[in-house]
Amino acid sequence: MIDIGFMDAKREEKIKLVSFLGAVSLFLSAIDYMIPRPMPFVRLGLANLSILLAIKLLEPRYVFLVVLLKVLGQGLIQGSMFSYVFLFSLTGSFASGFVMIFLYRMVERWITLVGIGLMGALTSNIVQVVLARFIVFGKSAWYILPPFLIMGSISGFLLGGVAEVFWRRSKWVKYVKTRL
Amino acid sequence: MKKKEPSIHILHSIVGKLKFFDYVTVVFAVLLVVVSSLYVYGSNRGVLYVHIKSFSREWILPLDGGERIIHVEGPLGVTEVEIDKSTVRIVKSPCKNKICVRSGAISRPGQWVACLPNRVIVSIEGRGPKEDYVDAVNF
């Protein structure tokens, strides 16, 4: 039998929440993948909704677990698990995770999920273009940076808005907060 | 009947509740887009240079620096290189076959003309849109 005696109730709740948010991001990745896109790399980034909620609800190490689950789920759904695209996704997601957590911890009282989501999207896009510059496409990768940033900002802003509204109104969020 | 459209309602409730650093990030994003666009698309017409190399000397001259003729000494004699209207060509050469003269004018970065018998190489250097590009992309 697995000894879970060392796990106190709160820790267990947090781990449950991490796995739930991971599952949500897997589901959202599938939805995201269904939506037709103008360019191959452009994504709405719906799966990041669970990361935004995780940032508000959990400590950084749990947030990174959610990020890892999101990346794995996305790789699984999009079939990019064993290609260089997966490396891009992994690096971009973790970099934006760092920035978003940092930002949230620094100016928690003066920022909403809108700003956090926007910065996260920007970070992930910049990191991925920089990787593309040095790994695959060479100097011409820079040409894709401005459109990437524009699309990323718009989707990050909107997703942040959705997350913020959800955060304020959801009964589920209120319920989860009482249990953590 | 007074109920608002739900989408407008949600948008309103997002924009209405933004805090200071949300605006900071929005401004940051706009600045980033503007600066990166200027940097990426603005520098296409960067300064181009003409690089002339003989067996004993090298010249680096601006491509847009107006009309001028450079006399390049080689083992066979003097090769005349003309820079004019943002193009470069070899106008006179002491070599036998005159391939260099017949290659005509070059104007884009990466192009070159050479007179091998007289050991003169003329090329255009600098940042430009055609310098480095993707051959093919597959998704």
How close, in Å, is residue A10 to chain B by CA atoms? 31
For residue A112, the chain B residues in CB contact (below 8 A) are 17-19, 22
| Cα distance between residue B3 and residue B18, in whole Å | 23
Best mutation site among A109, A112, A166 for testing chain B: the one with the most B CBs within 10 Å? A112
Looking at this predicted complex, what is its ipTM? 0.84
Residue B139 in contact with partner chain A when CB distance is under 8 A: yes
pLDDT at B130 over 70: no
To the nearest whole number, what is the mean pLDDT of chain B? 79
Q: Which residue of A has its CA nearest to B43?
A: A143
The reported pLDDT for the residue numbered A56 is 93
**A106-115 confidence digits (pLDDT tens):** 998 999 999 9
pLDDT at B21 over 80: yes
pLDDT at A127 over 80: yes
Mean pLDDT in residue range B108-133 = 76
**B27-55 confidence digits (pLDDT tens):** 999 999 999 988 877 755 567 788 888 88
- What's the length of chain A? 180
Output the CATH code of domain A9-179: 1.10.1760.20
Q: Which residue of A has its CA nearest to B137?
A: A137
**A8-17 confidence digits (pLDDT tens):** 788 888 999 9
Please report, for chain A, the start and end positions of each structural domain, with discontinuous segments joined by +. 9-179
The residue type found at B108 is R
